[in-house]
């Protein structure tokens, strides 16, 4: 009897162990919470920059199997451009779009990409964006910022002056109250032509123009459309004095946490987004000229040479220079 009872007990114990083992094998894997990132910029939801930021966010989520979920904050919702750039170091944002002039105070040479008449045109800019020289400057910024990573460079467009009167020569801008971004390099152009620059936050420009706080502003054609500046400015003067480039930057704290494979994904996706966005912006610049005329604006095709001549000395010797003559020569060697 005792022997039978012992056998039964041993059988029950074995079953219990097998059950426990099976339960252990079948236990569901712990749910991993996705990493949520913030991507901030100052552009409208209707603009190509926002469209391609959303595409990149979705593509990164897809390629990392949902590990990274990026929320894009447009239209200065997390602050003006200088604020969100600062936010990279403060940890309030993980990714931003920023013009190179806005990070020039961290690493001066990177700002030269937004100096007036630094580029001869779109092809010159694209040569730069794909060049080893650009990679050299991006590495310099990464070191100076203690790890913020530039992953892509997007064509923002050629800046043109809008005004209430035609601008045909540099002398026409003397004393003109014109809004420019709040970055020192933008003053190189206004100082060369004798204009009275007023740095005003991007979100406040329309009202400043409407109320006469300033008489003019300067931006690429797609931005003039998106921000509706054409409603309060009659003339669109094709000065094309600055070719802007928009950098995709990932904060040091975010970049350092990525695995090598994840870093590759972030770079590949943001580079593709920059390529697609650049093509769309360049096409829009041509398409918008007749569109503005239909709105009642006057397209003023100016002779750019006098403006180029007015600025030229400042590109090689000026208190506003944040680059060396060697940097300048490297940039000019990339002309098509």
Asked if the structure places residue 72 within a domain, the reply is: yes
Angle of the 132-144 helix axis to the 325-332 helix axis, nearest 10: 140
Residue 119 falls within a domain, yes or no?
A: yes
In a domain, 89, yes or no: yes
Kindly report the average pLDDT of the chain as a whole number.
92
132 burial (CB, 10 Å; 0-12 / 13-18 / 19+) is: exposed
- Each residue's pLDDT tens digit, 285-317: 999 999 999 999 999 999 999 999 999 999 999
Six-digit token pair at 62? 């897809």
pLDDT at 17 over 60: no
Confidence (pLDDT) at 101 = 93
Boundaries of domain holding 59: 35-332
Instruction: Tell me the pLDDT band of 29, cut-offs 50, 70 and 90.
Output: low
Q: At residue 253, does pLDDT exceed 50?
A: yes
Tally of domains in the chain: 1
Does some domain include residue 17? no
Q: Of all helices (H) and strands (E), which one includes residue 14?
A: helix 2-26
pTM: 0.87
Condensed to tens digits (0 to 9), the pLDDT of residues 126-142 reads 999 999 999 999 999 99
**CATH code for the domain of 57:** 3.40.190.170
The whole-angstrom separation of Cα 336 and Cα 317 is 24
Query: Which of 168, 195, 167, 164 is closest to 179 using CA atoms?
Result: 195
Residue 159 domain-assigned? yes
Q: Where are the beta strands (DSSP E) in the chain?
A: 35-40, 68-73, 95-99, 149-163, 177-180, 196-199, 216-219, 235-250, 298-300
Residue labelled with tokens 């979920």: 69
Q: Do the domain assignments include residue 12?
A: no
Residue 4 within any structural domain of the chain = no
Neighbouring residues of 268: CB distance < 8 A, sequence distance ≥ 6: none
Query: Does 51 map to a domain?
Result: yes
Residue 30 confidence (pLDDT)? 62
Per-residue tokens: 226? 């998106």
Query: CA 27 from chain center: how many Å?
Result: 45
């Amino acid at each position: 009897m005792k022997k039978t009872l012992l056998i039964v007990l041993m059988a029950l114990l074995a079953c219990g162990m097998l059950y426990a083992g099976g339960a252990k094998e079948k236990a569901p894997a712990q749910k991993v919470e996705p990493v949520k990132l913030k991507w901030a910029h100052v552009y409208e939801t209707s603009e190509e920059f926002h469209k391609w930021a959303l595409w990149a966010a979705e593509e990164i989520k897809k390629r990392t199997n949902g590990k990274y979920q990026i929320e894009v904050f447009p239209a200065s919702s997390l602050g003006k451009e200088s604020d969100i750039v600062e936010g990279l170091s403060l940890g309030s944002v993980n990714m931003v779009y920023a013009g190179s002039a806005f990070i020039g105070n961290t690493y001066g040479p990177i700002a030269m990409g937004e100096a007036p008449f630094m580029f001869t045109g779109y092809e010159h800019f694209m040569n730069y964006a794909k060049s080893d020289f650009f990679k050299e400057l991006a590495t310099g910024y990464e070191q100076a910022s203690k790890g913020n990573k530039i992953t892509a460079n997007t064509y923002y467009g050629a800046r043109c002056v809008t005004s209430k009167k035609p601008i045909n020569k540099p002398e026409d801008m003397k004393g003109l109250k014109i809004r420019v971004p709040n970055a020192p390099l933008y003053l190189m152009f206004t100082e060369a032509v004798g204009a009275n620059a007023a740095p005003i936050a991007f979100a406040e420009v329309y009202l400043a123009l409407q109320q006469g706080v300033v008489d003019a502003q300067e931006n690429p054609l797609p931005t003039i459309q998106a921000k509706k500046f054409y409603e309060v400015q009659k003339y669109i003067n094709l000065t094309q004095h600055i070719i802007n480039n928009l950098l995709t930057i990932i904060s040091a704290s975010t970049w350092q946490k990525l695995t090598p494979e994840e870093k590759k994904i972030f770079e590949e996706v943001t580079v593709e987004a920059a390529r697609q966005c650049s093509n769309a912006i360049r096409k829009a610049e041509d398409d918008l000229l007749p569109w503005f005329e239909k709105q009642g604006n006057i397209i003023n095709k100016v002779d750019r040479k006098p403006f180029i001549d007015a600025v030229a000395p400042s590109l090689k010797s000026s208190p506003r220079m944040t680059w060396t003559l060697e940097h300048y020569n490297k940039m000019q060697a990339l002309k098509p």
